[in-house]
Amino acid sequence: MIWRFDIYDFIADVIPGLVFLWCLQSLAGLMGLHLPLDFAGGLAETSVLVALGYITGLLLQGLSQGLVEKHILKPLWKGFPSERWLLPDDNHFSADYKKRLLSLILERFAVATEPDIPPHCPPARARELRLKKNRELFYLVYHAVGQSSPQPLTFNAHYGLFRSLLTMFALLAVLSLAGLLWALLAGSSRETAFGRWTALFVVCSVIAYARCKKRGEDFAQSVFNSFMARAAGKPSANDQP
């Protein structure tokens, strides 16, 4: 397997990493601190800066996936769309669509589409078992669609990007808020600048969250639609170049 650095790595890792470092340096400058980051240097300094930006972007991606997604987004959404939409009491899909989708999954993979729920199981535990089963079914469907449909891959990449941006802006909002409190307590004249940064990062966090949620839903919808169309033997709009 040959690894290559593609445009997605540049957009999803390098750019958020560089923006985060630049904003961090700007906030530090308001407090009279100087970070050893040269955004106006020569080739050597630029190469080091790009490398630091890439590493920072990877760390932001890891933080966004391991912490923000797992412990904030998923509980907030009460499960990912890919697993939540297949619940019996969820109304995102019509009853006919959901019934047809589950029957096609059963026919294609010969696996049970209902979880094994023990008698007298508490409702919360039963819901967890259903979400787990739906997650397994979704990944079967996703791998069946594979590379044949470009839209799920695009939506998933966008979801990862906006999830990373949400993490980045949320961190910057916390740091700028801490700077604002420092300026107020220290009697510094920089409270206005810190207040503007805080407001900007909060707005950016809200926008990044909205786009992250939308792209996550688009990803799940495109996977199910592509599978339905392929299983029915008809071309899908998602399969068009």
Over residues 68-124, the pLDDT tens digits come to: 999 999 999 999 999 999 999 999 999 999 999 999 999 999 999 999 999 889 999
Helix, strand, coil % over all residues of the chain, rounded to 5? 75, 0, 25
pLDDT tens for each residue of 149-186: 788 988 998 999 999 999 999 999 999 999 999 999 98
- Integer Cα distance of 119 and 124 in angstroms: 13
Confidence of residue 34 (pLDDT cuts 50, 70, 90): confident
pTM of the model: 0.87
- Integer Cα distance of 5 and 19 in angstroms: 19
pLDDT tens for each residue of 6-19: 666 677 788 899 89
Give the pLDDT mean for 194-210.
97
